[in-house]
Amino acid sequence: MDFMQAVKSVYSNYVNFQDRSGRGEYWWFILFYFAAYFVLAILEGMLGLSGILTNIFALGTLSLLLLLG
């Protein structure tokens, strides 16, 4: 499973409690999470925002991270 397939799989199967994610899917999604968080943090610094984008992203993705593991 490559990077894009893993991210799409996590977002499309987040209500599927029947299966477990594979090791590759998990680590690709963790890489996506940290990369997106890093990009949002840089964007916030450039725009002068005080954590709004990263907080929204973190709260929106928290349930996916808990369900993925």
The predicted-structure confidence for 34-68, as pLDDT tens digits, reads as follows 999 999 999 999 999 888 999 999 998 887 887 77
Structural domain count of the chain? 1
Burial of 10: CB neighbours in 10 Å, binned 0-12, 13-18, 19+ = buried
Q: In this predicted structure, what is the pLDDT of residue 44?
A: 94
pLDDT over threshold 70, residue 69: no
Give a yes or no: residue 48 inside a domain. Answer: yes
Give a yes or no: residue 17 inside a domain. Answer: no
The predicted-structure confidence for 10-23, as pLDDT tens digits, reads as follows 888 777 777 777 88
Give a yes or no: residue 13 inside a domain. Answer: no
Give a yes or no: residue 34 inside a domain. Answer: yes
Full-model pTM: 0.80
Give a yes or no: residue 41 inside a domain. Answer: yes
Q: In this predicted structure, what is the pLDDT of residue 66?
A: 78
Q: Residue 39's domain spans which residues?
A: 3-8+22-68
Pair of tokens at residue 11: 């977002």
Give a yes or no: residue 31 inside a domain. Answer: yes
